[in-house]
Structure 1
Amino acid sequence: MIRREVLLRLMAVAAWGVWTPGRLLAARGESHRPAPEGRPFSQDWLRLEAQRLAQQPFVPVPDEALPDWVAELDWDAYQAIRFRPEQALWAGLGLPFQASMFHLGLFFKHPVALYEVVHGVAEPVHYCPELFDFGKTAAPDATDNMGFAGFRVYAPPDLDHDLFSFLGASYFRAVGATRQYGLSARGLALDTGLPRPEEFPEFRAFWLERPSARADHLRLHALLDSPSVAGAYTFEVRTGTHTVMEIEAHLFPRRPIERVGIAPLTSVYQFGENDRRVADDFRPEIHDSDGLCLHTGADEWIWRPLVNSPVVRVNSFLDHNPKGFGLLQRDRDFDHYLDDGARYHLRPSAWVEPLGDWGRGAVQLVEIPTADETFDNIVAFWNPAEPWAAGQERTFRYRLSWGEVPVDRPGIAATVATRIGAGGVPGQRGRVPSRKFVIDFAGGRLAGLAGNARVEPVVWSSRGIVKEPAARPLQGTPLWRCNFDLMSEGGEPVDLRCYLRDDKGALTETWLYQWTPPG
């Protein structure tokens, strides 16, 4: 299962056929606008449209029918195509946001329909070649009416740094204060991590509401479709130190679904300080995210470091009305990556905060083997416990925050590093294999403790023997360190759990790990 190869084949987005896009002249003055094509639009209308769509047989993405010059674009030629900033949606109107479009080509060969909504009326945003600078590629004939692959949104006058973008299947990304992209989110994940091909729902059409001159947010809507589900989505996006999206999804299954992923996040973890299984590189670490963080309905904070698993692995963290979960990039030290191109130390975290009652279910973490940093191999999502059947409506609301530190855990120390190596005493290692686990914590009440404070490590393993657990402050740093040895035989994975406490209770979040012996 090479995930990025699957994504590249399935990320293309089909056009929604209710309103057929026409052609828009490059000049955006009123005298050059086509005749009005507007139709009334509302969030309620979109919900009913998704419900209607789900009651009909699924219409698959049509066969590729791009002009030859688009179908033959290579990587360099496609990357050279640039949207002309003066042609951006809302350019010259003095508004706080502008949107530009991605051209079709390379991996994105089916158009997505785009509409602008003004005072409750939606008009299609039309394609024409004058919207783009094609670099060394000859500009196409104006008769080509292809549509767009997706869009990006930014805040003028900074036209070079996106705030967020939608491109491919139901994928979207956003940035925080560093203006650096990293992991992705999706509208929906279906049958991820099962022993059969994953289903990739697609956003077929988008409606962007024109903001007011003083707006602090942008509101947009999307229609989702797939063989199993149709859905209506509304995004209300606010930007600043973090980019915050309030998302409401109305989902209508066409048929029973075995594994549904709500609020899915997709990331890359090739290797890091805890897992160097695939690490033939000059850089010490390569990852968009280094851990899964959970805030459970019982108010427990959990940190699960990511691994580049040698096999496809799915872990489920059962919960009832979770308070939050996310894939975080906690390590922000450039020296830990030494990559001034990819800038992994600036990549954002993403945090999901459920709004309303999500009931029983599990946060599921899927880890897929990868030998390359271009392969998305990490997926995390909420999987509802109640089965999904055809004809139902399921509604989910959540807040999705993108940025450096999108969560706050007052009084609770965070895990800042996990390291693993040979256990035992050098020169005295016995017959039973032993691994040493070293976990560093920082923050919370730990920061105010004296060096001689009584701090107890609480360590549990699903099998094997835990030996000599200890906790101590690291002199000259704000860190506390816990270390222990694990003695285990056989090749089955070992689940580990650890936290620090004093006489007042837990001092740290709960560290979880699944250790898989090599071989």
Structure 2
Amino acid sequence: MTIETGFTATATRRAVLGGALGAAAGLLPAAARAAEPDKVMALPGSGEAFGANTLIDLARARAAALYAAPKLGDVPAVLKTLSREAYEAIRPAEGRATWADRDAGYVLEPLLRGSIFETPVSLFVVENGLVQPVGYDKAAFAAPGLDLPDLTADTAFSGFRLRARFEGADGLSNFALFQGASFFRLVAEGQDFGINARALALRPADSRGEEFPLFRALFVETPRAGQPVVVHALAESESATAAFRITLIPGRDVSTAQIDGTVFARAELDHIGLGGMQGSYLFGALDRNRVDDLRAAAFSVEGLAIHNGYGEPIWRPVHNPEALQVSAFVDRGPKGFGLMQRARAYDDFEDDRRHWEQRPSLWLEPLDDWNEGAVTLLEIPSDSELNENVFAYWRPKAKLAKGAEMRFQCRQHWSKGWPDPLPPAIARVRDSRCGHGSTGNRRLFAVDFEGDALFQPGDIDVDLGASAGTITRQERFRYPDRKTLRILFELDPGSERASELRLALRRGQVRASETWLFRWTP
């Protein structure tokens, strides 16, 4: 495993991720924006058959045609000028959500275009193998203080929300959200939406500029009571099209999404992002030095967990840097990776509005061979807790040639706990802290490892190193009542501006903990 690093002095979240939630029209060349819609393969119409390969065949055919960007600029002002709060107040009228008249255990709520969500998405349900477009009726929405305009079904919607009856619950609760670029979210019972997943990413933080594939059509199979919901998603951009079959299963502790995706290259793709996920990190115990805030922390993502193909479990706390940072964890055949929210107590944050402790962790496991590549982490400077400034994804080493296609499969676990499984003999990192050291610019770190195995007979060895600077102090503190072993150490960076820190526990040559990694910068 190696780490590749990159820095830019002035990159900001807007420069890297700008336009992702909206149409990203400014990222498209004039030729793409001018393409004629009638030269693009049409979507299935009402009553047409929808089979296992319908969307794959459609995506393949559209990849061979000139890209036609979605039409923008036609969102009525009454919707386009809405604040985020006013937009989110729009809900289905009583009994008007899709499947509300059935005992399916789910309802589908179409989401209007408006506020920052400008890209039109065609919505369909599939029942008994036949397509039925989701229609628009302004009377089907409750919009406090608004007179909703008349819209056509193919220009009305930006995505949908799924509400589900979780096992043992009486009513319906938020479960899934598909909206913005190729983003979607899930939660387990009682959680708040947090991490965003991306069906496909192209050139994230690339000097050529990021390209955002957009959901163009979503086909949702009508579910039977107690069964999963299956979503078929068509995504497109100038360089690629993609078809996804996403099977959604709600759970009390863990909700899952199983993804079967096929990507078709309109042009050579040399920077693909699979399994993308992003969340927010404003500040925490590792980087409070620039923060004046009464809360203990503010983040929806605490760190990146990786189980690499060589059998090493890694924990990489994330932080809010002063300049864009890119880390690549080179691997072959990864077992899984994810953005984790390990802090689960109110006292970890003391935030009475955001309740970050209720946000999900997201763990991804490949279901086929992902071969060579790198788990890539972007940490983007942010001055707002609403910015999703932490992004992780798998970047395949191999390019995808123009006209070629690539299939991949994976399963996502959206969880209240720590869904990245570890053997009982391997201790987890429970907490990481940093503060001023003994003198000058020295920094003091405390890393807490938690696990029963740490207190069994036998010596624990500490494997600690820094790529730059000097470790000037190292101590350990045992807390058997908390099953925690704290490693305290001090880094003297000297004149260095960055240092890669690595810490792991061993019993002789046998691994006893996750490997803790962190990039220190001033």
Is the TM value for this pair above 0.5? yes
Tell me the distance in 1 between the aligned counterparts of 2:406 and 2:138. 41
Alignment-derived partner of residue 228 in structure 2: 217
Alignment-derived partner of residue 408 in structure 1: 421
Q: 1:469 to 1:113 in 2, by over 3 A?
A: same
Describe the superposition over 1:255-279 as per-residue Cα deviations: whole angstroms up to 9, x where unpaired. Answer: 1233211000011111101112442
Q: Specify which of 193, 207, 210 is matched with residue 181 of structure 1.
A: 193
Q: How does 1:357-368 map to 2 (within 5 A)?
A: 357-368=369-380
Paired AA for residue 450 in structure 2 = A
Q: Specify which of 444, 447, 454 is matched with residue 439 of structure 1.
A: 447
Tell me the distance in 2 between the aligned counterparts of 1:202 and 1:142. 21
SS in 1 for 2:385: coil
1:265–1:380: 8 Å Cα contact kept in structure 2?
yes
Alignment-derived partner of residue 343 in structure 1: 355
Alignment-derived partner of residue 3 in structure 1: 13
What is the CA-CA distance between 1:474 and the residue it aligns to? 2.6
What is the CA-CA distance between 1:178 and the residue it aligns to? 3.1
Alignment-derived partner of residue 435 in structure 2: 421
Describe the superposition over 1:34-89 as per-residue Cα deviations: whole angstroms up to 9, x where unpaired. Answer: xx921111231211111111111111222311234333434454233221241111
Alignment-derived partner of residue 165 in structure 1: 177
Tell me the distance in 2 between the aligned counterparts of 1:358 and 1:108. 33
Percent identical pairs in the alignment equals: 33
What is the CA-CA distance between 1:139 and the residue it aligns to? 3.7
SS in 2 for 1:231: strand
Tell me the distance in 1 between the aligned counterparts of 2:163 and 2:511. 43
2:216–2:235: 8 Å Cα contact kept in structure 1?
yes
Describe the superposition over 1:487-506 as per-residue Cα deviations: whole angstroms up to 9, x where unpaired. Answer: 22224311111111124722
2:339–2:361: 8 Å Cα contact kept in structure 1?
yes
Q: 1:211 to 1:510 in 2, by over 3 A?
A: same
What is the CA-CA distance between 1:20 and the residue it aligns to? 7.8
SS in 1 for 2:314: strand
Tell me the distance in 1 between the aligned counterparts of 2:479 and 2:269. 50
Q: 1:94 to 1:107 in 2, by over 3 A?
A: same
- Can you give the 5+ residue segments of structure 1 that lack an aligned partner in the other structure? 22-35
Q: Specify which of 63, 66, 70 is matched with residue 57 of structure 1.
A: 66
Q: 1:149 to 1:5 in 2, by over 3 A?
A: farther
Tell me the distance in 1 between the aligned counterparts of 2:261 and 2:310. 25
SS in 1 for 2:173: coil
Q: 1:423 to 1:148 in 2, by over 3 A?
A: same
Q: 1:143 to 1:253 in 2, by over 3 A?
A: closer
Mapped pair 1:490 → 2:495: yes
Q: How does 1:287-306 map to 2 (within 5 A)?
A: 287-306=299-318
SS in 2 for 1:162: strand
Q: How does 1:18-417 map to 2 (within 5 A)?
A: 37-141=46-150, 146-156=155-165, 161-213=173-225, 215-240=226-251, 241-404=253-416, 405-410=418-423, 411-417=425-431
Paired AA for residue 414 in structure 1 = R
Tell me the distance in 1 between the aligned counterparts of 2:315 and 2:154. 49
1:472–1:480: 8 Å Cα contact kept in structure 2?
yes
Q: 1:242 to 1:323 in 2, by over 3 A?
A: same
SS in 2 for 1:50: helix
Describe the superposition over 1:459-518 as per-residue Cα deviations: whole angstroms up to 9, x where unpaired. Answer: 1211222234333313643210112222222243111111111247221110011111x2
Tell me the distance in 2 between the aligned counterparts of 1:234 and 1:407. 24
- Can you give the 5+ residue segments of structure 2 that lack an aligned partner in the other structure? 1-10, 26-36
1:77–1:137: 8 Å Cα contact kept in structure 2?
no
Alignment-derived partner of residue 30 in structure 1: none
Alignment-derived partner of residue 455 in structure 1: 460
Paired AA for residue 420 in structure 1 = C
SS in 2 for 1:375: coil
CA RMSD of aligned residues (A): 2.3
Structure exhibiting the larger radius of gyration computed from Cα positions? 1
Tell me the distance in 2 between the aligned counterparts of 1:233 and 1:244. 15
Q: Which moved more, 1:64-73 or 1:357-366?
A: 64-73
Q: 1:77 to 1:417 in 2, by over 3 A?
A: closer
Tell me the distance in 1 between the aligned counterparts of 2:210 and 2:271. 10
Paired AA for residue 21 in structure 2 = M
Alignment-derived partner of residue 24 in structure 1: none
1:204–1:223: 8 Å Cα contact kept in structure 2?
yes
Tell me the distance in 1 between the aligned counterparts of 2:154 and 2:401. 39
Paired AA for residue 116 in structure 2 = F
1:12–1:149: 8 Å Cα contact kept in structure 2?
no
When normalised by structure 1's length, the TM-score is 0.89
Q: 1:88 to 1:8 in 2, by over 3 A?
A: farther
What is the CA-CA distance between 1:9 and the residue it aligns to? 3.5
Tell me the distance in 2 between the aligned counterparts of 1:396 and 1:378. 23
Tell me the distance in 2 between the aligned counterparts of 1:146 and 1:63. 10
Aligned residues: 493
Paired AA for residue 409 in structure 1 = L
